[in-house]
Amino acid sequence: MADSGHKSISRIDIPKKKTHGWYVRVWFKGKMHSKFFSDTGHDTSTEALAAAVEYRDELEEQIGKPRTDRVVVTHSPRNRTGVMGVRRMFKRTGAFMPATSAPRYSEVYEVTWQYAPNKVRNTSFSIDKYGEVEAFRLACELRKLKEREIYGCEVPNHLETKKDN
């Protein structure tokens, strides 16, 4: 959280340049949106902060970003499925190979979500049980459900972002 007590809003004070005000920076879908709210342009620091908060809320609504004080991630270069919070992996089943006593693994799509700050949950869908396409579909469906519960709406993923542009 910024020193303003509001996400995406920072205080700028540069006495040498006579610059005092609030700076709004909203990062979403690979783009930075920013605007400065000067104290002198709004009579007081409190009025400038109120204008900055109003602008940030309207901007987030306009660009489709959920209004939350939590971090909203729409892209990671490490993600290979194209859907944040969904990954294909080998999961240890708990069973062992009879001849070698080596653990047995199965392929799954794992869904991860943060239901509260620093509280992570996950579940998985077996590719053996559901098939490749259905396991991925179920994982994506659950992820979107969890996004609606957490943010109040679905978060567009990076692939949807590229299609929009």
Residue 78 in domain? no
pLDDT at 161: 41
**Considering the entire predicted model, what is its pTM?**
0.56
Res. 164 pLDDT band, cuts 50 70 90 = very low
Residue 81 in domain? no
Residue 4 in domain? no
Asked if 14 and 50 sit in the same domain, the reply is yes
* Structural domain range at position 137: 86-164
| Residue 143 contacts residue 86 (beta carbons within 8 Å) | yes
Q: H/E element holding 148?
A: helix 132-151
The string of DSSP codes covering 31-93 is EEEEEEEETGGGSSHHHHHHHHHHHHHHHHHHHT----SS------TT-SSSSTTEEEEEEEE
Asked if 158 and 100 sit in the same domain, the reply is yes
pLDDT at 124: 92
The domain tally of the chain equals: 2
| Residue 108 contacts residue 81 (beta carbons within 8 Å) | no
| Residue 82 contacts residue 74 (beta carbons within 8 Å) | no
Asked if 105 and 145 sit in the same domain, the reply is yes
Cβ burial, residue 157 (10 Å; 0-12/13-18/19+) = buried
* pLDDT (tens digit per residue) in 50-102: 999 999 999 988 988 877 666 666 666 666 777 888 888 888 877 666 777 66
Asked if 94 and 158 sit in the same domain, the reply is yes
Asked if 91 and 153 sit in the same domain, the reply is yes
Tell me which residue of 73, 79, 57 sits closest to 147, measured CA to CA.
Answer: 73
Measured CA to CA, the distance from residue 42 to residue 112 in angstroms comes to 44
